[in-house]
Structure 1
Amino acid sequence: MYLKTVSDDEATGELAEVYEAERSDMGAVMNATRSLSARPDLAAPVEALLHQLRDGFSLGLEAFRMITLVVAKNVPSSYCSHVYFRGLSRFTGREKALAIQKDHRSAGLSEREVAMLDYAEQIAVDASRIDETHIERLRGVGFSDLEIADIAYAASFRSFLSRYFDAVGATAEPEFLDADEAVRATLSVGKA
């Protein structure tokens, strides 16, 4: 980490609550969460928004994780690629998650899922190029405006967080790194 962060012993108030919740859920405080403590007053609101987006995601947790993996690849963010590959693998299996990370268009996904991930990818790469035809394509495969908004929120927020984590030097914890060196290399799309 490039910035001084707040240790577990130093954390107070809302930041201590964020740390405790993550320790309870994951067994430790992730480097990503710890990186937010460089600005302690923003850690709880950022975490709350992430949880509200993820837990209330209209398309379900599997779609949320597919979006975050595709966005992480295109930001590019090694940290988020490793973390979300692990999370998506629990839903789809390891090989399917690898196929999605490699090229979601040829991963055996439905037309609807490909359209969702194309939109998320465009948000990560250059959202200024999105126009009404992108939205009409999503509506054409059955997405409601609420679902389209959720895709945009998830992709935009992951882009923001991934860039923040890289900017302050957060690195993936060993438990998120795949045992296969070739897979680790595939997921290392940006900063090591």
Structure 2
Amino acid sequence: MYLKTVSDEEATAEIAEAYAAERAGMGTVMNATRALSARPDMLVPVDRLLNQLRDGFSLGLEAFRMITLVVAKHVPSNYCSHVYFRGLTRFAGRDQALAIQADHRSAGLSERDVAMLDYAEQIAIDASRVRAADIDRLRAVGFSDLNIADIAYAASFRCFLSRYYDAVGATVEPQFLDDDPTVREQLTVGRP
């Protein structure tokens, strides 16, 4: 980490609560959370927004994780690629998660999932190129405007967080790194 962050010993009030909750749920405090503590007044609101978006995601957690994995590849963000690959494997399995990360269009996904990930990918690459036809395509495969907004929120928020984590030097925790060096290399999409 390039910045000084709030250590466990220094954590008080809401930051101490956030650290304790993450430690209770995951057994550790992630570097992503520590990175947010460099601006202590932002950790809790950003974390709440992420939780609200993820927990209330109209398309479910698996879709949220597919979106974040595809977006992380195109930001590009090593940190988020490794973390969300690990998270997606719990839903889709390791081989499917690898296929989605490599090229979601040839990963055997439904037309609906491909359209969703195409839209998320476009947001990550250049959201200014999204057109009404892109939204019409999403509607044509069954997405509501709420679903489309959720996809846009998830992709845009991942761009924000991924870029922030890279900008402050957050590094991937060992427990998120795959045991296979080839897979680690595939997921290393940004700074080595």
Q: How does 1:177-192 map to 2 (within 5 A)?
A: 177-192=177-192
Q: Does 1:21 align with 2:56?
A: no
Q: What residue ranges of structure 2 are gaps of 5+ in the alignment? A: none
| Cα distance in structure 1, aligned partners of 2:47 and 2:24 | 15
Q: Does 1:78 align with 2:68?
A: no
Count of residues paired in the alignment: 192
Write out per-residue CA displacement over residues 127-164 of structure 1, whole angstroms, 9 at most, x where no aligned residue: 00001111000000000000000000000000000000
| Cα distance in structure 2, aligned partners of 1:50 and 1:90 | 20
| Cα distance in structure 2, aligned partners of 1:156 and 1:70 | 12
| Post-superposition offset of 1:47 | 0.3
| Cα distance in structure 1, aligned partners of 2:18 and 2:136 | 39
Q: What residue in structure 2 maps to residue 59 of structure 1?
A: 59
| Cα distance in structure 1, aligned partners of 2:171 and 2:3 | 12
| Cα distance in structure 2, aligned partners of 1:98 and 1:14 | 36
Q: 3-state DSSP class of the match of 2:189? A: coil
Paired letter, 2:118: D
Q: What residue in structure 1 maps to residue 42 of structure 2?
A: 42
CA RMSD after TM alignment: 0.5
| Post-superposition offset of 1:48 | 0.2
| Cα distance in structure 2, aligned partners of 1:13 and 1:164 | 24
Paired letter, 1:105: R
Q: What residue in structure 2 maps to residue 144 of structure 1?
A: 144
Give the TM-score normalised by structure 2: 0.99
Write out per-residue CA displacement over residues 38-83 of structure 1, whole angstroms, 9 at most, x where no aligned residue: 0000000000000001011000000000000000000000100000
| Cα distance in structure 2, aligned partners of 1:136 and 1:118 | 13
Paired letter, 2:95: E
Q: What residue in structure 1 maps to residue 166 of structure 2?
A: 166
| Cα distance in structure 2, aligned partners of 1:37 and 1:137 | 40
Paired letter, 1:107: A
| Post-superposition offset of 1:16 | 1.0
Percent of aligned pairs sharing the same letter: 77
